Structure formats: C-alpha cells, structure tokens
C-alpha cells in the first residue's frame, strides 16, 4: 500500500528505517536522510523543513567522481568518454529507474501526490540520498550503494553500446588513444576528378605519424586507399579510408611499424 505524502512524526522513524534497509546504509545522522527525501513543494508548506536541493547538488558531484575514477582505473577515460559519462548522468533516467526499483517515491515527502512525481524528482532524490550518505559516512559508503545498484557496470555497458554507433573516425581515434595515450596524426594523399560541383575525390595513400620517431616521420598504411572508388566529398573518401585503416591497425595489433 502506498504511504501518504505527509509522514507524521509517529511513523517517520519507522519509514526512514525501512528506507535505510532498502538503500543498504544505516545513517549515523538520520536527519540527513529525511532532508534528502524532502521536496521543495513540501518545504514550502512546512517552512521548518529543509529540502533536498543542496544534497542533490552534492550527490551529483560525488556520483560523477566515483564513476569517473572507476572508469579511469579500468580503461583510458578520454575526452569523448568523459563527455558521454556526463551526458548519461545528466539524463537522470537510469537513476530514476534505480529509485523506482526500491519504491523510492513511496518515501518522498512532497506537497503533491506521489504518483504524480516526475522521473526527474525521483532521480534528484536518489542523488540527494547519495549526497546525504557522503556527509554521513564518506565516499566509500556512497560507492557501496552504487555497487549495490550495479551503476558502474551500467555505465560501462552504455559506453560499449555508444562506441558501436560512433563515426569510424572517432572509433579509430579513441582506440589509438587507448593504446598509445596520444592522438593519432593522419595525413591523406588525395586525387580528384572533375571541376566545381562535379568534383569527385578519392584517397590514394593514408599515412600516420610514427609516434616513436624523433624526426616526426609519417608511415604509410599499406593498402589503405579508396582503390577504384570515387566520392562526392573528401569527408566520404576519408570515412571509407578510416574503415580500412581501423581493420589494418587491428590486424597489426595497433603497432605503427
């Protein structure tokens, strides 16, 4: 049975204890948990109550730090992956789903009916609870809660899915950075046919800078070219070449020479 939005003092302790069990953390300062589940609409009606806003802000940062650190340890966390991580966390959908898993909305103190609470509010409260745990017991306890919900694993899975849909040039650059810890420097030798809007392009050679060369020498990726294919733009010709270059480097174990 769903609980009413305004929890009376006679049962609030029991409800907070229930929520502690669902979260998997026992608070030293239970007032932090109560603040984390209190919405602005409730605190507007009850001026003596603090809402979750400050804890949600803190929780968002703590979650981002934990996930970034885990991903940095397990694999190279380049700019593209950091941007992806930030965008996924900002969507908040998954955090809301984790909250719904434990029936979090049934414990939120809100001025409106709980069934009308948006996914964003659920996600915000989840983050606020993480912020409350951080203040109560430190970052390691927050990490335990995230592990309970398998949030780091979820982020890794999402990154793998996203990687499959990245343009081939980005896939090549990301893989190169992962192996060599620097950006690849690629140069193409083009051929063209026609004039103006009728110009067609193809790549006759693909070269990559040898990162181990003191003279900055470029090495040809043998066989990486468009062959007999012509393209209406340099970009399309490069896309075809990057597909071949990725396969070529994979076969060589991403060794330049």
CA–CA gap between residue 176 and residue 173 (Å, rounded):
5
Whether residues 135 and 232 share a domain: the answer is no
**pTM confidence score:** 0.61
| Total count of domains within the chain | 2
Whether residues 175 and 158 share a domain: the answer is no
231 close to 237: Cβ distance less than 8 angstroms: yes
Whether residues 181 and 148 share a domain: the answer is no
Whether residues 32 and 145 share a domain: the answer is yes
CA–CA gap between residue 136 and residue 33 (Å, rounded):
9
Catalytic residue among 34, 88, 127, 173: 127
**Structural domain includes residue 180:** yes
pLDDT in 10s for each residue of the chain, 257 residues? 344 454 555 578 889 999 999 999 999 999 999 999 999 999 999 999 999 999 999 999 999 888 878 776 655 555 566 666 666 666 667 788 889 999 999 999 998 888 889 999 999 999 999 999 999 999 999 999 998 888 877 777 776 666 665 688 888 988 898 888 888 999 999 999 998 888 999 999 999 999 988 888 999 999 999 888 999 999 999 999 999 999 999 999 999 87
Whether residues 108 and 218 share a domain: the answer is no
Catalytic residue among 35, 56, 60, 238: 60
Last residue of some domain: 121, 137, 163? 163
Whether residues 120 and 21 share a domain: the answer is yes
CA–CA gap between residue 205 and residue 191 (Å, rounded):
10
Active-site residue 127, yes or no? yes
Query: DSSP strand E in 169-255: where?
Result: 186-193, 200-209, 218-220
Which domain, by its residues, includes 247? 167-251
Active-site residue 60, yes or no? yes
């Amino acid at each position: 049975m769903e609980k009413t939005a305004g929890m009376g003092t006679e049962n609030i302790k029991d409800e907070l204890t229930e929520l502690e069990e669902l979260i998997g953390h026992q608070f030293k300062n239970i007032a932090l948990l109560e603040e984390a589940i209190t919405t602005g609409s409730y605190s507007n009606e009850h001026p003596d109550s603090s809402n979750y806003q400050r804890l949600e802000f803190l929780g968002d940062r703590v979650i981002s730090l934990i996930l970034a650190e885990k991903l940095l340890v397990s694999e190279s966390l380049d700019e593209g992956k950091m941007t992806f991580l930030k965008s996924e966390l900002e969507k908040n959908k998954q955090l809301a789903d984790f909250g719904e898993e434990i029936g979090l909305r049934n414990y939120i103190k809100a001025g409106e009916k709980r069934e009308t609470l948006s996914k964003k509010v659920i996600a915000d409260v989840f983050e606020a609870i993480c912020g409350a745990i951080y203040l109560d017991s430190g970052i390691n306890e927050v990490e335990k809660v995230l592990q309970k919900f398998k949030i780091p694993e979820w982020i890794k899975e999402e990154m793998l899915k996203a990687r499959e849909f990245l343009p081939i040039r980005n896939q090549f650059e990301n893989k190169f950075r992962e192996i060599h810890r620097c950006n690849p420097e690629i140069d193409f030798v083009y051929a063209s046919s026609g004039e103006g809007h009728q110009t067609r392009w193809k790549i006759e050679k693909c070269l990559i800078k040898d990162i181990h060369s003191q003279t900055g020498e470029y090495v040809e990726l043998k066989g990486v070219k468009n062959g007999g294919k012509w393209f209406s733009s340099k970009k399309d010709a490069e896309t075809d070449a990057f597909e071949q270059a990725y396969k070529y480097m994979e076969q060589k174990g991403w060794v330049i020479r």
